[in-house]
Amino acid sequence: MIYLDYSATTPVSRKVLEEDALFHQRSFANCNSIHALGKAALEEVDKATNTILDKLNLKDYSITYTSGATESNNLALKGIAYINKEQGKHIITTAFEHGSIVSCLNYLANQGFEIDIVDIDDQGQVDLRHLQSLITDQTILVSIGAVNSELGIIQDLKKIKDITSQYPNITFHSDMTQAVGKIKTDFSVVDLLSFSGHKIYGFKGIGALIHRKNIDLRPLIHGGKSLSKYRGGTPPTSLIYSLAIALEDIYKNFEEKEEKVKKLNLYLRNQLKTIKNVFINSPMNALANILNFSLISSTSHQVQKYLSDKEIYVSTTSACSSNQGFSRVVKVLTKDDLRSQSSIRVSISHLSEKTEIDALINALEAYDESC
């Protein structure tokens, strides 16, 4: 088996599995309980929270734990929109956002909010002049992902923040699901950020919305007293603990892991260039973990099935948009229908090996020659 779909999900790391087993042996109480066991569980959660904020250098922020990035994105967008709708109902985003952002904004549009899409340049970067021109006195939210999940394009959030910070009514949110654990950056340039545990070798079912302490949100899930006033329900103490372990573990020896991924990306890029009908869609300065290309002699799903039959696993789009017959973001960047209908996303990891890249290239060469 050759797994090259790490941006869809990651295997749970041995460290997380081991620490999770130990946690269950020592702590199972409800951290909302006021007895000694509950207080001990709350101490574990507080320790995990401090670890997460410390690793991301966000000590002046708060965390609302969620079931994953989709819920985090919904809480961020709807929570900000509803709490601030008397100030304005205008939201700005990009055409590169994850499906959970797109669906949420479509929902808000049906609720009477105005959504504007900022232009991008030929490298996928936000057009800052256009962003500035879109802002009005009704703008309450700008939501722009740090790293696009299909192309790996990294946005310059600092430059975007330099613009949004000129307007006190604007909250700046970023979906950082593909950034956390893969890049080191100044996460504090945004007011809110979303991410998910299963993208960083943790468990599915746990995510976080990290927000400045002065941010106010309208909750989506109401309930009794909990860790955050923005989400009711019994906190999943073991999942919260495991999220901190996963984040701590992924940033251990980070530079070494990052360098390996960059070398594999460059090798893959150079090998793909030798295949006749391949066009590379990811820019050179994209996140090294993601390389998107089109094999225009076929369709995305045909190539994916061919590779899957050989136990080589890649994606056609982001996992949450995989039922589409084309890549929306590749179409936006390349303006080419054929490339959007034949795009493949290879997402690698520090666990990937050169031999796996070779096997992928050999399979693609054989497939292209047979078309």
Could you write out the DSSP letters of every residue in 94-150? -TT--HHHHHHHHHHHHTT-EEEE--B-TTS-B-HHHHHHH--TTEEEEE--SB-TT
Could you write out the DSSP letters of every residue in 167-219? -TT-EEEEE-TTTTTT----GGGSSEEEEEGGGTTS-TT-EEEEEETT-----
What's the rounded Cα separation, in Å, for the pair 342 and 294? 5
Residue matched to tokens 């703008």: 139
Q: Is there a contact between 205 and 65 (Cβ–Cβ < 8 Å)?
A: no
Residue matched to tokens 């391949």: 278
Q: Residue 147 forms beta bridges with which residues?
A: 154
What's the rounded Cα separation, in Å, for the pair 174 and 190? 7
Q: CB 76: neighbour CB atoms within 10 A?
A: 31
Q: Is there a contact between 243 and 197 (Cβ–Cβ < 8 Å)?
A: yes
Q: Which amino acid is at 104?
A: C
* Inter-CA distances, 184 with 56, 188, 262, Å: 8, 12, 14
Could you write out the DSSP letters of every residue in 231-279? B-S---HHHHHHHHHHHHHHTTTHHHHHHHHHHHHHHHHHHHTTSTTEE
Q: Is there a contact between 299 and 316 (Cβ–Cβ < 8 Å)?
A: no
320 is annotated as an active-site residue: yes
Show which residues are catalytic: 320
